[in-house]
Structure 1
């Protein structure tokens, strides 16, 4: 520090800061006229930051205790903080000159805690925000004393930075926070290796050094799979299958991304009422939708099913149109006779029906567990078709599905289909089958030669997101002109794909992908979607609809289940009358949402192992109100009174001595009376976010948040005042959990214009 000889460097003890002696700067010329003492910091390299915070810890004596009679007008209980920005270190004893023309005033810093005597050490902590000029590399700070008795204990200068982060496979570099306390910086992400832009990825670096309001994303390239939304790694490591175009194509009877699961599960949801953990289930290889069967002829299809090695699965007819003739019992054959030392083995269920008429029949088939309870169900349709006399073909039915049958397939999963051909001549099987159209995402693998007369093939269909809908596929062999054709119906993205549900300890975090939802509901009106009740509508961004309400709002139900807190609600899409908008004509969507977490997450102050604390005697939360921007002129509280339209400055702070914690303001609101009902609450801040157009968060430090709002009155309560309430949580400073970060997503703010 460099001074103009008015400040003195002394060694003293400040127990609130350190148990060791500290070097502090003091200035105490309260009985002198025209005091003008200056103290300047060394040159500070700003390192590319756009803004700085300066935190000053100091003590100050009360004027009434140290001034001589008649000299109190010269005494001050504040000092001035100045800054000087420059592109290099130019300072000397005389430059910049010690005056308020060379330096820019940051603020007049007043003490809130004043000592009665020299031994009465009351530490003040004040933090100020400074916007930096573009292109200048450094800054000096200067302290001007005009007649106080002050000791500067410590000065900390820092800036906030959004750390490097990877989000939706886009890398965002470490970014200094914006120039203004309420500004944000848009940063474009770079796709991580082995991924490509799906929609231009951008993230906003907020003024508090956190990332928020993400849009767009990168997606892993074909052949690569994502890990924690950060890395795209090759998915081509197959335990039981073959690698094709960086994708694992599993051998029959195996499933999973690495072909490491024996058997598998279907792509759709069936009934699950079995008492066993893993009852017999239909596997994912064939999911029929419509099977075309000739009328009055036996029509057999083979469905893969898994079961125990020593006890085959029981498969029975489920619910079906009883005009349809069915063959009972359903035959079940083991697929691999060598499967003896595994927990699950592949079987085949041979299902035979006969449609009596040319019409569409409903049919369901079920597996049973080993206590004969329903375990799994698969439903499809049987289309009766005219029996046309055709010469015998080379395709063998079954296991080949009947001609022009339709198979379901999801764009997110590889689909399998079996073909069996009769040999037209002795010798090996044709290694390749031709596929039309040739652009189809199909791989045909020769599986085995079932006998000297047949060749077995496995068709693997690899749908993409853009291939939804029905597609005709035809197969033929080089040894014959006959074709076998089928229809693949690729199911597009579902409602489950569009809605992501999570929650913090205090609020819902629901994100709806509007691009997907608009495909499902053309003409979607986002304002008609709400959580629980129609006042809880979402916040619309470019691509998403966000719901950030508290866990005790919007008719959310909470319950205790096995020691855990469970929260249940539903998303509703209601279609309103175009004229009488208060009338709902139709409910197009109800989507249940739920989340939960262990009760152990919630802390009391006796649990010192946790990082989240609530206000208590040790961690108090206090509120002070002021009529000036310097936070000097107190407004008496409970209730507060001001002129309508005037600004009220609020300081929410804690006097806890625990500097290993940081305070995060959750909500601030007014009520006309202390015991007024909740519907009269008027929120300034909710979930840490400004809720009112006239409310502005000015500054946030470790144990303090300052904001301003425009004073108003409740109807029929003229000159009756307002009661202001705020609550907060305390977190360990190292805790990066969502509830401990003072982040704010965009909200539809109330506008008073």
Structure 2
């Protein structure tokens, strides 16, 4: 094993804990921390990046890609992801979590060691059989670490994990590949997460608004017209605007409950909901007190209910006030 390999594989002796995060306005297209089987990513050349899989404390696999050929000049090592289906995304976000070794902490590598790597992508409608041609890939950015680790950190068993997020778009093809180019750094790519943002389904002012994908232009809002909930009608046209970060903005207009219905917890409930029991009111909305016919039926139902209750009450009183018939005798 070379010095570079020993420097790189030392990452495996650290336990990396992932804190699950939930984002209601994000749709995840790829998360390497949730893949149970092999990722199946490709490396060019074969002896460039190493794919390492370890198990965390919950017996879930952690897929890590490592490279550390810092002793040799002119490195050009590529790692390519599988094809990623973009779904409804027009713009995606790539979140990288990684560690990077400080070149000054490695002896005899002053001219060959680097502290950055490059991120690329390639759009295509083809999900299989696409040959890797670096010239076809578009560079997203050069990625540098906010914090790099040293030999002293290794002694203290401290792992400095960096997180970088980059935007990619507009994207118009069915999917895309990501590619990572190493030019001589000592890197452990711990996780890759790809997602796009949406304004999630919501209810506002008795109107529902569907999932909406923002525009690529972050300064432009998407106007969305809401649909009134059941038994509600427009007072002013309900509208919301979907922002680039997946937030609903600028609420306008509203819906109001129809005649005979009352707002409660974002819904319109008929008065029959409050006064009628199942054995009195038929299971359809004719008797929601919104018409003279339903009002008449409600009055009749209420009268019958009160009469029945009174009869039951009198019967109970009579049975308590007099002894049973069979106990009476003319000789008493």
Which TM-score applies when normalising by structure 2? 0.63
Q: Alpha carbons of 1:67 and 1:179: their partners in 2 closer, same or farther (altered >3 Å)?
A: farther
3-state SS of paired residue (2:238): strand
Q: Alpha carbons of 1:62 and 1:246: their partners in 2 closer, same or farther (altered >3 Å)?
A: farther
Tell me the alpha carbon deviations over residues 335-382 of structure 1, each in whole angstroms, 9 at most, x when there is no partner.
Answer: xxxxxxxxxxxxxxxxxxxxxxxxxxxxxxxxxxxxxxxxxxxxxxxx
Q: Which has the higher contact order (CA 8 A, sep 6+)?
A: 2
Q: Alpha carbons of 1:76 and 1:36: their partners in 2 closer, same or farther (altered >3 Å)?
A: same
3-state SS of paired residue (1:155): strand
Deviation at 1:232, TM superposition (A): 2.3
- In the alignment, the residues of structure 1 paired with residue 54 and residue 99 of structure 2 have an alpha-carbon distance, to the nearest angstrom, of 12
- In the alignment, the residues of structure 2 paired with residue 30 and residue 194 of structure 1 have an alpha-carbon distance, to the nearest angstrom, of 69
- In the alignment, the residues of structure 2 paired with residue 32 and residue 216 of structure 1 have an alpha-carbon distance, to the nearest angstrom, of 66
How many residues are aligned here? 240
Give the aligned partner of residue 110 of structure 2.
72
Give the aligned partner of residue 289 of structure 2.
243
Q: Alpha carbons of 1:232 and 1:12: their partners in 2 closer, same or farther (altered >3 Å)?
A: closer
3-state SS of paired residue (2:111): helix
Unaligned 5+ segments in structure 2 are 1-40, 277-287, 297-301, 303-332
Give the aligned partner of residue 140 of structure 2.
106
Q: Alpha carbons of 1:238 and 1:52: their partners in 2 closer, same or farther (altered >3 Å)?
A: closer
3-state SS of paired residue (2:148): coil
Q: Mapping of 1:556-595 within 5 angstroms?
A: none
Deviation at 1:12, TM superposition (A): 5.5
Q: Alpha carbons of 1:47 and 1:11: their partners in 2 closer, same or farther (altered >3 Å)?
A: closer
- In the alignment, the residues of structure 2 paired with residue 140 and residue 79 of structure 1 have an alpha-carbon distance, to the nearest angstrom, of 17
- In the alignment, the residues of structure 2 paired with residue 112 and residue 56 of structure 1 have an alpha-carbon distance, to the nearest angstrom, of 13
3-state SS of paired residue (1:243): coil
Q: 1:238 touches 1:248 (CA, 8 Å); kept in 2?
A: no
- The answer to whether residue 187 in structure 2 is matched with residue 150 in structure 1 is yes
Name the Cα RMSD after superposition: 3.1
Return the structure number with greater strand share.
Answer: 1
Q: Mapping of 1:270-419 within 5 angstroms?
A: none
Q: 2:55 touches 2:62 (CA, 8 Å); kept in 1?
A: yes
Q: Alpha carbons of 1:114 and 1:243: their partners in 2 closer, same or farther (altered >3 Å)?
A: closer
3-state SS of paired residue (2:120): strand
Q: 1:113 touches 1:122 (CA, 8 Å); kept in 2?
A: yes
Give the aligned partner of residue 75 of structure 2.
35
Deviation at 1:143, TM superposition (A): 0.7
- The answer to whether residue 167 in structure 2 is matched with residue 125 in structure 1 is no
- The answer to whether residue 52 in structure 2 is matched with residue 10 in structure 1 is yes
Give the aligned partner of residue 91 of structure 2.
51
- In the alignment, the residues of structure 2 paired with residue 54 and residue 38 of structure 1 have an alpha-carbon distance, to the nearest angstrom, of 17
3-state SS of paired residue (2:146): coil
3-state SS of paired residue (1:171): strand
Give the aligned partner of residue 209 of structure 2.
172
3-state SS of paired residue (1:151): strand
3-state SS of paired residue (1:64): helix
Q: Alpha carbons of 1:44 and 1:67: their partners in 2 closer, same or farther (altered >3 Å)?
A: farther
Q: Mapping of 1:150-229 within 5 angstroms?
A: 150-228=187-265
Deviation at 1:227, TM superposition (A): 2.3
3-state SS of paired residue (1:56): strand
- In the alignment, the residues of structure 2 paired with residue 246 and residue 132 of structure 1 have an alpha-carbon distance, to the nearest angstrom, of 58
Question: If you compute each CA radius of gyration, which structure gives the higher value, 1 or 2?
Answer: 1
Tell me the alpha carbon deviations over residues 427-475 of structure 1, each in whole angstroms, 9 at most, x when there is no partner.
Answer: xxxxxxxxxxxxxxxxxxxxxxxxxxxxxxxxxxxxxxxxxxxxxxxxx
- In the alignment, the residues of structure 2 paired with residue 211 and residue 88 of structure 1 have an alpha-carbon distance, to the nearest angstrom, of 35
- In the alignment, the residues of structure 1 paired with residue 79 and residue 216 of structure 2 have an alpha-carbon distance, to the nearest angstrom, of 26
- In the alignment, the residues of structure 1 paired with residue 268 and residue 275 of structure 2 have an alpha-carbon distance, to the nearest angstrom, of 20
3-state SS of paired residue (1:74): coil
- The answer to whether residue 65 in structure 2 is matched with residue 25 in structure 1 is yes
- In the alignment, the residues of structure 2 paired with residue 227 and residue 83 of structure 1 have an alpha-carbon distance, to the nearest angstrom, of 50
Deviation at 1:194, TM superposition (A): 2.3
Give the aligned partner of residue 233 of structure 1.
269
- In the alignment, the residues of structure 2 paired with residue 247 and residue 169 of structure 1 have an alpha-carbon distance, to the nearest angstrom, of 28
3-state SS of paired residue (1:79): strand
Deviation at 1:168, TM superposition (A): 1.3
Q: Alpha carbons of 1:114 and 1:14: their partners in 2 closer, same or farther (altered >3 Å)?
A: farther
Deviation at 1:20, TM superposition (A): 6.9
Deviation at 1:245, TM superposition (A): 2.5
Give the aligned partner of residue 18 of structure 2.
none
Q: Mapping of 1:377-526 within 5 angstroms?
A: none
Deviation at 1:110, TM superposition (A): 0.5
Deviation at 1:105, TM superposition (A): 1.5
